[in-house]
Chains A and B, each alone.
Chain A
Amino acid sequence: MLWNTLLLALRAIRRNLMRSFLTVLGIVIGVAAVITMVTLGNGATQSVSDQIAGMGSNLLMLRPGQRFGPGSEGAPNFKDTDIEAIRNQIGSIEAVAPVVNKTATAVYQAKNWSTVVTGSSNDYFQAGNWVIASGRSFSEAEERAGKAVCVIGETVRDKLFGRRNPVGSEIRIKQFACEVIGLLKSRGQSAMGSDQDDAVVMPLHTVQRRLTGNLDVNMIMISVRNSAAIDAVKDQVTRLLRERRNIAENEEDDFRVMDPRQISETLTGTTRILTMLLGAVAAVSLLVGGIGIMNIMLVSVTERTREIGIRLAIGALEREVLLQFLIEAVVLSSLGGLIGIALATGATIGLARLMGIPFLFDAGINLLSFLFSAAIGVLFGFFPARRAARLDPIEALRHE
């Protein structure tokens, strides 16, 4: 009976090629969308945590304000002197780098490029794990005097100098000329997707004097000598800054010290939310695919009910008719599911390469979407048939 019914099911699929094709297509689109979105999201999350791991587990970031990110405008910035205080009063520290950022256009001959200028010190290269590919970092005299010298990233070099060696050339930033003394080793995209090589680094005083016009420091990076000491350093820094910023005993901090774990949680949390969002969007497409299938099935319900009537009239048993429809539904939705998985795998591998994130095969989501698609097929293919197969043959034949 199974073999014969399989034959009948396959014949029915062949008979209704357009309907079969649309059913499969609905499932393919839904399954492929869900798997692609979720897999890419997982890859993005993975690449974020990889990069954070690469940042080192001994980095503390200090920002004014209660929260990390936007909304910190209310609290006062740090001062030059805070850097000195931290360096002098706290042990187990390897590097303390002030950070001031300012967007500006860099010009070299006829070319210009809008970039972010960072004012800091040599500690910045150390704390941020930057390597000078050619040229040199700042001298003590340049830092102290706020000389117009800069170290540029690979992207800025590419935009202004092409393949030429920039060291020794002068670029113009706003109204002043600045000598390029070093080139940073390329690092590619950051965890958040921005280009880390799109950077110009100058001594802090140069940026304060010539670009921002004040002595504020937006952020402080502290590299701790031993990652085991990170909590202790964090406490000491917090206490020191509360004192320096005159925060009363019962008041909350108006700055925030982020350790690597928190940074990582913040960033991966963001991508995880993004993954969930993408997954939800994709799930909707799976649902839409399902509704499409339902429509196809409903449109054909009259023809199929009469077909069931014919089959019953010539002596088919109810269970034979049901089995045929079940096989049809399962074959079509499994086919759609498999094609969807294959398509998603191909698309995900390609897109992951394009986006520079790892391809992480997620068996769970593949299985889940496959089962879901099969369930949709069975739901919309089988249950309408069950109603028809329970009718008296003549009722099914008369169906209009």
Chain B
Amino acid sequence: MTGAAALIRLSAISKTYGSGQAAFQALKGIDLSVAAGEFVAIMGPSGSGKSTAMNILGCLDTPTTGRYEFQGVAVEGMTRNQRALLRRHYLGFVFQGFNLLARTTALENVELPLIYRGDPAGSRHQAARAALEQVGLKGWEHHSPNELSGGQQQRVAIARAIVTRPAVLLADEPTGNLDSRNSREIMDLIAALNRDLGITVLMVTHEPDMAAYASRVVHFVDGLVESDRHNGGHA
């Protein structure tokens, strides 16, 4: 996992929130390498810095110190625009709270990344419909988030994340707001995306049941990686 072929490599990443008296170090030096095609679950107690690390991995936030290489390129050296383009072309993010645009149909939500990518309307619609079908929402294209259940909203969010065929799917507690049946369905979906499309998945979860889907489990404690081991068998 530490070879030059790593898709993602974090070295000594730290993150301090606030400054002076109120400063709080959420990450205290994280080292982590992820190869293409892996399915990594990140676990750990609440407040251990999992979300902070995911946001840095997803280029939504910047580390205070340390080095982040994506496909061998240093992310710290990038401009805001370059990081936006990295998100646009390589990364898909799924949030615990879905983060869909309100009063906007599923189709238009899923289309959004393609509009920014500049795809023509025809192929854009086709790709968005295909992505919705892939997450099992055929027939729900014209429903807006308030007309969808939590599980369905998270499926829309996943469709939006994968419609661009990203190299990496980052999911921060994607089943955190869902009941167990919906959680299992979402996990099956994510595992299938990893297995069938070869999308690298990094996922934060509290529940061992969910972590069991991953090929590798990383434990965070107090802003540090406490353990990092491969799962025996695939679920």
Interface size on A, residues (CB 8 A): 25
On whether the beta carbons of A316 and B84 are closer than 8 Å, the reply is yes
Would you call B78 an interface residue if the criterion is a C-beta within 8 Å of the partner chain's C-beta atoms? Answer: no
Would you call B118 an interface residue if the criterion is a C-beta within 8 Å of the partner chain's C-beta atoms? Answer: yes
On whether the beta carbons of B99 and A317 are closer than 8 Å, the reply is no
Among the 9-residue stretches B109-117, B133-141, B192-200, the one with 4 or more Cβ atoms under 8 Å from chain A is: B109-117
Among B58, B85, B91, B93, max chain A CB count under 10 A is at: B93
On whether the beta carbons of A15 and B101 are closer than 8 Å, the reply is yes
Interface size on B, residues (CB 8 A): 30
Would you call B88 an interface residue if the criterion is a C-beta within 8 Å of the partner chain's C-beta atoms? Answer: yes
On whether the beta carbons of B104 and A316 are closer than 8 Å, the reply is no
On whether the beta carbons of B116 and A392 are closer than 8 Å, the reply is no
Instruction: Report how far A310 CA is from B88 CA in the complex, Å.
Output: 12
Would you call A254 an interface residue if the criterion is a C-beta within 8 Å of the partner chain's C-beta atoms? Answer: no
On whether the beta carbons of A315 and B89 are closer than 8 Å, the reply is yes
Among A16, A313, A316, max chain B CB count under 10 A is at: A313
Instruction: Report how far A312 CA is from B112 CA in the complex, Å.
Output: 11
Interface string of A180-223 (1 = CB under 8 A from B): 00000000000000000000000000000000000000000000
- Given A11-B108, A394-B55, A397-B99, A314 contacting B60 (CB threshold 8 A): no
Would you call A303 an interface residue if the criterion is a C-beta within 8 Å of the partner chain's C-beta atoms? Answer: yes
Chain B residues 14 to 62 lying within 8 A of chain A, measured CB to CB, are 55, 58, 60-62
Residues of B within 8 A of A317 (CB): 81, 84-85, 116
Would you call A263 an interface residue if the criterion is a C-beta within 8 Å of the partner chain's C-beta atoms? Answer: no
Q: How far is the CB of B109 from chain A (nearest CB, A)?
A: 9
Chain B residues 90 to 105 lying within 8 A of chain A, measured CB to CB, are 91, 93, 95, 99-104
Tell me the interface secondary structure of chain A in the complex.
helix
On whether the beta carbons of B101 and A392 are closer than 8 Å, the reply is no
- Given A8-B115, A392-B61, A394-B60, A314 contacting B87 (CB threshold 8 A): yes
Q: How far is the CB of A93 from chain B (nearest CB, A)?
A: 80
Residues of A within 8 A of B108 (CB): 11
Q: How far is the CB of A6 from chain B (nearest CB, A)?
A: 11
Instruction: Report how far A8 CA is from B115 CA in the complex, Å.
Output: 8
- Given A8-B115, A392-B61, A397-B60, A318 contacting B99 (CB threshold 8 A): no
Interface string of A315-346 (1 = CB under 8 A from B): 11110100000000000000000000000000
Would you call B129 an interface residue if the criterion is a C-beta within 8 Å of the partner chain's C-beta atoms? Answer: no
- Given A15-B104, A318-B81, A393 contacting B60 (CB threshold 8 A): yes
On whether the beta carbons of A318 and B80 are closer than 8 Å, the reply is yes
Q: How far is the CB of B94 from chain A (nearest CB, A)?
A: 10
Residues of B within 8 A of A318 (CB): 80-81, 84
Instruction: Report how far A227 CA is from B23 CA in the complex, Å.
Output: 89
On whether the beta carbons of A312 and B84 are closer than 8 Å, the reply is yes
Residues of B within 8 A of A4 (CB): 115-116, 118
Would you call B155 an interface residue if the criterion is a C-beta within 8 Å of the partner chain's C-beta atoms? Answer: no
- Given A11-B104, A16-B103, A313 contacting B87 (CB threshold 8 A): yes
Q: How far is the CB of A247 from chain B (nearest CB, A)?
A: 82
Would you call B160 an interface residue if the criterion is a C-beta within 8 Å of the partner chain's C-beta atoms? Answer: yes
Among B87, B103, B115, max chain A CB count under 10 A is at: B115
Would you call A7 an interface residue if the criterion is a C-beta within 8 Å of the partner chain's C-beta atoms? Answer: yes
On whether the beta carbons of A314 and B113 are closer than 8 Å, the reply is yes
On whether the beta carbons of B103 and A314 are closer than 8 Å, the reply is no
Instruction: Report how far A203 CA is from B14 CA in the complex, Å.
Output: 105
On whether the beta carbons of A315 and B103 are closer than 8 Å, the reply is no
Residues of B within 8 A of A11 (CB): 104, 108
Residues of A within 8 A of B103 (CB): 15-16
Q: What are 7 A-B contacts defined by CB distance under 8 Å?
A: A303-B102, A310-B100, A314-B87, A316-B84, A316-B116, A393-B87, A394-B55
What are the 4 tightest A-B residue pairs by CB atom distance, in nearest-first order?
A315-B88, A394-B60, A315-B87, A393-B60
Contacts A315-B91, A317-B81, A393-B87 aside, 17 further interface pairs with beta carbons under 8 A come to A7-B115, A11-B108, A15-B104, A310-B99, A312-B84, A313-B93, A313-B99, A314-B88, A315-B85, A315-B89, A317-B84, A317-B85, A318-B81, A318-B84, A392-B60, A392-B62, A394-B55
Residues of A that sit less than 8 Å from B by CB: 1, 4, 7-8, 11, 15-16, 303, 306-307, 309-318, 320, 392-394, 397
